[in-house]
A and B are shown apart, each in its own frame.
Chain A
Amino acid sequence: MKHTISVIVENKPGVLHRVSGLFSRRGFNIESLAVGTTENPNISRMTIVVEGDEIVLEQITKQLYKLIDTLKIFDLPEQKLIERELALIKVHANDKTRQEITQIVDIFKAKIVDVAEDSLTIEISAEKDKVDNVQKLLEKFGIQELVRTGKIALQRGGI
């Protein structure tokens, strides 16, 4: 089972190493990890998607709390999640395919952010499944380059 956890850490050098090192040495699987600063510049938020049952999740949480730089951990419940992933997809395009690609972009409320003679670069920010879908639909045109951020998430409503 997949869990999305939010790990609030002190924004100190080496903190990403401490967290990622903990996952690798304890044999926990990270599906994605996104990190950035928060409203407080001294604090960072890591959004980590992990695979495991309740027991594994409990161990992950407890081990993360043992890191001195960890301030708070939230296991974000699926139904109360606002989640986004950002992708930039550079797809092969010519006169024949350009229109079809533009249609896909419109349907998914994505954006074309760069146009070249033989390619289009598409930006999409959406839930992971939707990004997966767009990527799949674009594959047949030939994806030249692709980058995804990994999921970031917050819980809905007041804190």
Chain B
Amino acid sequence: MELSGAQALIESLKKEGVEYIFGYPGGKVLGIYDVLYHEKAIKHILTRHEQGAAHAADGYARVTGKVGVILATSGPGATNLTTGIANAYMDSTPIVAFTGQVSTDQIGRDSFQEADVTGITQPITKHNYLVKQAEDIPRVVKEAFHIASTGRPGPVVVDIAVDAMKKKINFKYPDKVSLPGYKPTTKGHPRQIKAAAKMIGLAKKPVIYAGGGVVLSGASKELKEFAEKLRIPVTTTMMGLGAFPEDNDLALHMLGMHGTAYANYAVQESDLLICVGARFDDRVTGHLPTFAPKAKHIHIDIDPAEIGKNVRIDVPIVGDAKQTLKDLLEKVKPEKDKHNAWLKQIEEWKKKYPLKYKDDHELRPQYIVELIDELTEGKAVICTEVGQNQMWAAQFYTYNEPRMWVSSGGLGTMGYGFPASIGAQFGAPDKMVFDIAGDGSIQMNIQELTTAVNHKLPIKIVVLNNNYLGMVRQWQELLFERRYASTDLHNNPDLVKVAEAFGAAAFRVTKKSEAKKVLQQAMKIKDRPVLVDCRIVEEENVFPFVPPGQAINEMLID
């Protein structure tokens, strides 16, 4: 079949089963857009900023487990993607971004809208390509999807010179990839699994510390079986929320800087930490030398470079979480009531230090998140921005299933949540999708309201509006003697009017007593996005809070 490079690209995407491309056109991708003009099988979603497209593809990938696809033009189109690509890289989201490049004879001449895209994205991608020949397009697409979605997933950028899009080639999509330098280890070494099983048998105070890798690997069922069979409590990282059901009696909820006190105490007291698909990030460990001081460490991860990067590991297991937990389950020998004393201790901590907030007549953000949990029966997809809104959403909603939590973990990208919720809604059309936002972060990609309105996406944007950049203000309050430098946002626009101007529905909540009714009203709207501007207590803080540089059991509880 003779096709142009651009046609070959779209045919290749169809072979990969792509349903949506999130993108923004421009001079160097006109050829691809011309093919999309006639295309029925793939829908192009026009965002209003390339960053929005990148985050939307990322949100889509997180709720579906499929590869998110982005298309942008050369130069500024591509550079606008970089925050989204870096975000996906830090959180191991499988996305493939296609960017146009100036023609091969113009590369390196500072041509109009030229940027060194492979150079710029090299430190923030799992791999990238500069395609100069049409003949390479099918192979590169095949490799890009394979690399993005296997092993430890991540973003791949494919930069295509415009002349390669025009040239005719004889199209044939490869069946297999040939990448001699890329062979992820998915099956853990039997000797290591045996050693881990032995160590688990000897432990008296074990804790499982599960991360985003469990979600990515689809290992939630195995994790639950493993924890329940051995009666080991489970704490999750923020990226791991939903990997283990939070209504389970073994759930310790989130650990780390804003984790529960009982999760942090359990980790600090434990004699064995079983880390599955997490990476001992500084937000989890606090002051590294003081982290889990009494514990031996088992670390299961598909990325060997994560093992031993931050913490010395006693039993490393390189492998896929699902497969490894299955193998480990066969080797462990549960002893009845072995951890009863330990679980009783944890139960006491849970009773003594629950997550809490002041339950008065004021409109408090934690209450709003609890309301959303109650009204959606814990079945919504919760996207968040970054900051206090994110932490309250993490703490006060009950995540019982994986892929219900969509939040920027590693990079901490303000402005992520709303465009991600657009991708999430496309990926999960039958689910209710929320973006729990702050008044600062919602303004970072608010232009995407147009995208959501155009596609009649019934996303619920709940702005926890405190007229501050809340998390930064909290740090200023606690660590900089209340000097609120550049965090006061009292000159915010009227967000209700802004939303309405975009064609969205909008409500305002100022009293606790009206919150439930308004949220119920908002949830009834099915044909467009709705923004609920909640005027919360302005100087509410997120607790627990482990101040930077402290051990995680040295937290401020309130």
Contact = CB atoms under 8 A, between A and B. Distances in A.
Interface of A: 9-10, 13-14, 17-18, 21, 25, 55, 58-59, 62-63, 65-71
Contacts of A18: 122
Of A21, A62, A65, A67, most buried by chain B (CB within 10 Å of CB) is A62
A43 to B, nearest CB: 10
B485 interface: no
B118 interface: yes
Contact of B308 (A55, A67, A68): A55
11 contacts: A10-B181, A17-B119, A17-B122, A55-B308, A66-B305, A68-B147, A68-B179, A68-B181, A69-B181, A70-B181, A71-B181
Given A21-B122, A68-B147, A62 B304 contact: yes
Contacts of A58: 308
B308 A59 contact: yes
Interface size grouping (class) on chain B: 10 to 19
B229 to A, nearest CB: 32
A68 B180 CA distance: 8
B305 A14 contact: no
Contacts of B181: 9-10, 67-71
B354 interface: no
Contact of B309 (A14, A21, A59, A69): A59
Contacts of B182: 68
B305 A62 contact: yes
B127 interface: yes
A63 B130 contact: no
B118 A14 contact: yes
B450 to A, nearest CB: 36
Nearest to B118: A14
Given A58-B308, A68-B126, A68-B182, 11 more contacts: A14-B119, A17-B119, A17-B122, A21-B122, A21-B123, A55-B308, A59-B305, A59-B309, A66-B303, A66-B305, A68-B127
B123 A63 contact: no
Contacts of B307: 62
A79 B182 CA distance: 31
Interface in B101-141: 118-119, 122-123, 126-127, 130
Contacts of B147: 68
A18 B307 CA distance: 22
B130 A14 contact: yes
B104 to A, nearest CB: 12
A156 to B, nearest CB: 26
Contacts of B305: 59, 62-63, 65-66
Contacts of A17: 119, 122
Contacts of A21: 122-123
A59 B118 CA distance: 24
A71 B180 contact: yes
B30 to A, nearest CB: 26
Interface in B272-319: 303-305, 307-309
A65 B306 CA distance: 12
A155 B324 CA distance: 36
Nearest to A59: B309
A70 B305 CA distance: 14
Nearest to A22: B123
A75 to B, nearest CB: 15
Nearest to B127: A68
B387 to A, nearest CB: 26
Contacts of B130: 13-14
Contacts of A67: 181
A71 B308 CA distance: 22
A26 to B, nearest CB: 10
A73 to B, nearest CB: 11
B122 A65 contact: no
Nearest to B318: A62
A13 B179 CA distance: 16
B96 to A, nearest CB: 14
B278 to A, nearest CB: 17
B308 A25 contact: no
A150 to B, nearest CB: 22
A18 B119 CA distance: 9
A22 to B, nearest CB: 8
